[in-house]
Amino acid sequence: MSPNYTLTLPAKTLDDADPKARDILANTKASTGMIPNMYANMANSPSMLQVYVDGYSLFRAESGFTPAEQEVVFLTISRENECHYCMAAHSFIADNMSKLPTEVTDAIRDNRSIEDTKLAALANFTRTILVSQGHPGQDDVASFLRAGYAESHILDIILALAVKTISNYTNHLFDTAVDNAFAARSWEGRSVA
């Protein structure tokens, strides 16, 4: 048994969720064919779920990163935060939707070097922003910019950090079981529901 506290709030469904959360859950089910366990747990706080969904959508649509780069950012943050659920989900998305090369996804999952220099720079800088709590050094930023990124991308990483803080911490507090859809990419041998 983990020494960490686990919330006892029940996962919400379309039948018992607050109307605001119910709309988000219904839209998610309509667009993806499922209600992810993480969303069902987040629905206990409809405002948090709304902020998460909005931030996630805006990062995906407006960050200026390619879908593959977006997964590098999300995977790097989730790896650093040790979120088993998001590692599985984003590995699945990387493989099947964002088309991030599997060797890059696996390098992040295994905490190994990434051979692609631009994606390596993105992962390294994302980790730096997270670990330094938003205080990168001059050399860190210079390396990031030399790799082909812009200062505006730094702010996009902060948006991703905000989104991943919501999801990673929620998953920690619920010890969210990995959905069957993501089971093939489970991480650290965690449970699957």
Phi and psi at residue 81, to the nearest 5°: -85, 0
Q: How far is the CA of 75 from the CAs of 33, 84, 96, 126, 177, in angstroms?
A: 23, 11, 15, 10, 18
Q: Name the residue with tokens 């709590």.
A: 133
Question: What's the pLDDT score for residue 185?
Answer: 96
Q: What angle do CA 70, 71, 73 make, to 5 degrees?
A: 65
Distance CA 156, CA 162 (A): 10
Report all structural domains of the chain as residue ranges with CATH numbers, in order of start.
19-185 (1.20.1290.10)
Q: How far is the CA of 84 from the CAs of 14, 59, 168, in angstroms?
A: 25, 21, 9
Return the number of other C-beta atoms located less than 10 Å from residue 170's C-beta: 23
Distance CA 166, CA 47 (A): 11
Question: What's the pLDDT score for residue 1?
Answer: 54
Rounded to an integer, the average pLDDT of 144-167 is 98
Mean pLDDT of the chain, nearest integer: 96
Question: What's the pLDDT score for residue 188?
Answer: 73
Closest CA to 183 of 169, 193, 168: 193
pLDDT digits (tens, 9 = 90+) for 34-88: 999 999 999 999 999 999 999 999 999 999 999 999 999 999 999 999 999 999 9
Share of the chain above pLDDT 90, in %: 95
159 neighbors 59 (Cβ within 8 angstroms): yes
User: Band of the pLDDT at 189, cuts 50, 70, 90?
Assistant: very low
Q: Across 26-107, where does the E strand assignment appear? A: none
For CA atoms 82, 71, 156, 86, the dihedral sign is negative
Distance CA 184, CA 90 (A): 12
